[in-house]
Amino acid sequence: MQKTINILMIDDSTSCRIVYRNFLTNSRENNYHISEANSPQEALEFCKSNQPDCVLVDYQMPDIDGISLMQRLQKNASLAYVSYIMITGFGDESVAVKALKCGAHDYLIKDTISALTLEKAIINAIEKSDLKRDVALSRQKLLKYNDNLESIVKKRTIELEEVNQLLDNKNKQLLQEIGEREKVQSKLHDRNNELAHASRLCIIGQMASELAHEINQPLSSIRIYSDFIINKMTSDLTNDKDITTATSGISKQSELAENIVKRIMKFAKKATPKQIEINVNALIAEAISLSSLEGERHGITIHQQLDDNIPPVWGDPIQITQVILNLLRNSFDAISNNDQGCNEIFIRNKTFSNHFVEISVQDSGKGFTPESLARAFDSFFTTKKEGLGIGLSISRSIIEAHNGKLWIDTNCKSGTIIRFKLPIKISDYTNNSET
Ligand SMILES: Nc1ncnc2c1ncn2[C@@H]1O[C@H](COP(=O)(O)OP(=O)(O)O)[C@@H](O)[C@H]1O
Ligand SMILES: [Mg+2]
């Protein structure tokens, strides 16, 4: 189907308009709808209510020239993309160039216009102005997209800032919580140490009679030696050798008593737990020596099956001694409440998976009942008349504070085995095992 092209011809020469009209109405290519204006005023009036596709405008007209008229028409937004062809007289090429610069899409020289050149110029001019309109529309769209994009970026930036702020607040909150948790943990740690200390004082209180007996022995000896010296001095039978023997006896026994008191004081001391290298065998020896009289009183034999090359562990020697002492004293109680007649305790050590040292205390006592097994680590749980029920719970928290583990071996057929393990001081052990 042929397209209809709306043409406005502006020319004060009627004959020219007739010629152009004839050219176009005979066209086989397109269908032209032609309007005419014989003056600029008529053209301006016409364009108020019409929008042609192409305007043929004569340069030389009375009152106003073709270029000024074209510029006035172009100011009207609805005519901004209409195509304009300037028609100039012969020899007016400079005018044609000016017209092109001012927005005309093509120009024709009056005397050379033919049907072919006119139609070709119209089609070209329309194509150009269409192109110009497309470019302008695309630019507008692009600007709109840009605006949209900018507003999206702005919105996203604000959202991001809000999220960042939220995150900042959460972080601050978290740091505060961590700080508070650390405070609580350090308080808990202090409490545990205080409890461990209180429990040591309890142990000393419970062992008071045995300890008094132990100190009493050297004190009695000292008294005997002193009496002996006094007798010798008063009876005039002074023998220098006897006096020397007696005084050196006094000195030795005082030293013995002093050592016992020192050991008790060391054990009872309230000190910040240390983190030092520990030889567990030395601590086992110390615990046995502190409780030996009690053991003897119950007629109990303590067997030590210890590996002398056990690697060192890392921790507080007083607290670990306290654990071993707790286990030994529980074993004494369990054995003395048992009528089996087998009064034995075995203390063993071994290296466990190359990462831990394990110590076990096995006794031939009456063993745990299902109830005491279930509640053994509850604070203040005791089955004893004079018991406090804190020995096992404190022992376990001491071992756990040393990154170890303490447990009752439930595979034990008779009596009890309690085990605990402590991490090996790695660097030393690997160094030792490499050499
Ligand atoms: N070696 C053991 N054999 C049998 N029962 C034990 C042994 N060690 C602990 N128990 C049980 O666990 C309970 C809790 O022990 P512990 O916490 O040391 O408190 P206490 O010795 O003051 O009773 C004991 O009362 C006892 O019933
Ligand atoms: Mg106990």
Q: For residue 390, is it within any domain?
A: yes
Cα of 312 vs centre of ligand 2, distance in Å, is: 27
Give me the domain span that covers residue 68.
Answer: 4-140
Number of domains within the chain: 2
Domain limit, last residue, from 140, 164, 191: 140
Domain limit, last residue, from 77, 110, 140: 140
Q: For residue 330, is it within any domain?
A: yes
Rounded CA gap, 251 and 254, in Å?
A: 5
Q: For residue 230, is it within any domain?
A: no
Q: For residue 228, is it within any domain?
A: no
Q: Which atom of ligand 1 is nearest to the CA of 326?
A: 18
Residue 50 vs residues 6, 46, 54, 286: alpha-carbon distances, Å: 10, 6, 12, 117
Q: Phi and psi dihedrals of 301, rounded to 5?
A: -105, 130
Cα of 382 vs centre of ligand 1, distance in Å, is: 6
Which residue's structure tokens are 């020596």?
289
Asked if residues 299 and 336 have their Cβ atoms less than 8 Å apart, the reply is: no
Cα of 325 vs centre of ligand 2, distance in Å, is: 9
- Residue 406: its pLDDT value, please? 98
Q: For residue 172, is it within any domain?
A: no
Cα of 393 vs centre of ligand 1, distance in Å, is: 10
Assigned token pair, 427: 């660097």
- Report the CATH number at residue 276: 3.30.565.10
Task: Indicate if 424 and 282 belong to the same structural domain.
Answer: yes
Print the SS3 string covering 376-435.
CCCCCCCCCCCCCCCHHHHHHHHHHHCCCEEEECCCCCCCEEEEEEEEECHHHHHHHHHC
- Residue 432: its pLDDT value, please? 44
The CA R_g of the chain, rounded to the nearest whole Å, is 57
The stretches of 207-312 forming alpha helices (DSSP H) are: 208-234, 240-268, 280-297
Q: For residue 94, is it within any domain?
A: yes
Q: Beta-carbon neighbour count of residue 374 at 10 Å?
A: 11
Task: Indicate if 288 and 430 belong to the same structural domain.
Answer: yes
- CB-based pocket (< 6 A), ligand 1: 326, 330-331, 334, 363, 365, 367-368, 372, 376, 381-384, 387-393, 416
Rounded CA gap, 66 and 99, in Å?
A: 9
- Residue 1: its pLDDT value, please? 60
Q: For residue 56, is it within any domain?
A: yes
Nearest bound ligand to the CA of residue 380: 1
CA-nearest residue for atom 12, ligand 1, is 376
Nearest bound ligand to the CA of residue 360: 1
- Report the CATH number at residue 127: 3.40.50.2300
Cα of 307 vs centre of ligand 1, distance in Å, is: 27
Residue pLDDT tens, the chain, 435 long: 667 999 999 999 999 999 999 999 988 889 999 999 999 999 999 999 999 999 999 999 988 999 999 999 988 888 888 999 999 987 778 898 999 999 999 999 998 999 999 999 999 999 999 998 899 999 999 999 999 999 999 999 999 999 999 999 999 999 999 999 999 999 888 888 888 898 888 888 878 877 887 888 888 888 888 888 888 877 766 677 778 888 888 888 888 888 888 888 888 888 788 889 999 999 999 999 888 888 988 899 999 999 999 999 999 999 999 999 999 999 999 999 887 778 999 999 999 888 999 999 999 999 999 999 999 999 889 999 888 898 999 999 999 999 999 999 988 788 999 999 999 986 544 444 433
